Structure 1
Amino acid sequence: MNTSTQFQIYRKPEVLQTLAISKSTLHEWINDGLLPPPVNLGRRAVGWYKHEIEHLLIAMGAGLNRDEIRQVVGQITQARLAAWNKLRQ
């Protein structure tokens, strides 16, 4: 994946539009493990990595069920941590 696209950020309105969901559904999905937690951008600003949202769309389009989507979200979260650990070395 191209590094310049890997770290593009979607803010909440873009995520809502891309996923075609409401704010309440967004928060429900985060709480249910169906969407990765947002990235903290500042005191009152959050966003999501564009490539993670696109990855979820592909998984949803492939017909994965809720448990399988949770696994994808877990992999995304683990990949974030692995990338951070790699940078720290």
Structure 2
Amino acid sequence: MGEEIDKGATEPRRVTRLIRLPEVQHRVGLGRSTIYRWMSEGKFPKPVQLGGYAVAWAEDVIEDWINSRLS
């Protein structure tokens, strides 16, 4: 029925934090229009739909994008 939890697992479970547009803008140093333009061009990760018009990005996806730009 449900998934069993592996009590012998040694790796801690990583919780994905969702961040909204203002925090994404702050972290990447880009404006809203640039983020959305780059998303349409495939240069920036797309957000996940939260419901209605609300969207957010997975924090680890944004961190990976930043790290790829620094490399």
Matched, 1:51 2:60: yes
Normalized per residue, which structure has more helix? Answer: 1
Residue 75 (structure 1) aligns with: none
Matched, 1:14 2:18: no
Q: 2: CA distance between counterparts of 1:13 and 1:55?
A: 18
TM-score calculated relative to the size of structure 1: 0.63
Write out the 4+ residue segments of structure 1 that deviate beyond 4 Å after TM superposition.
Answer: none
TM-score calculated relative to the size of structure 2: 0.78
**AA at the equivalent of 1:3:** R
Residue 80 (structure 1) aligns with: none
Matched, 1:33 2:42: yes
Number of residue pairs the alignment of both structures matches: 60
Aligned-CA RMSD value: 1.4
Q: Give the greater-gyration-radius structure (CA).
A: 2
Once the 2 structures are TM-superposed, how far is the Cα of residue 44 of structure 1 from its aligned partner? 1.6
Gaps of 5+ in 2: 1-11
Gaps of 5+ in 1: 63-89
Identical-pair percentage: 30
Q: 2: CA distance between counterparts of 1:61 and 1:36?
A: 16
Normalized per residue, which structure has more strand? Answer: 2
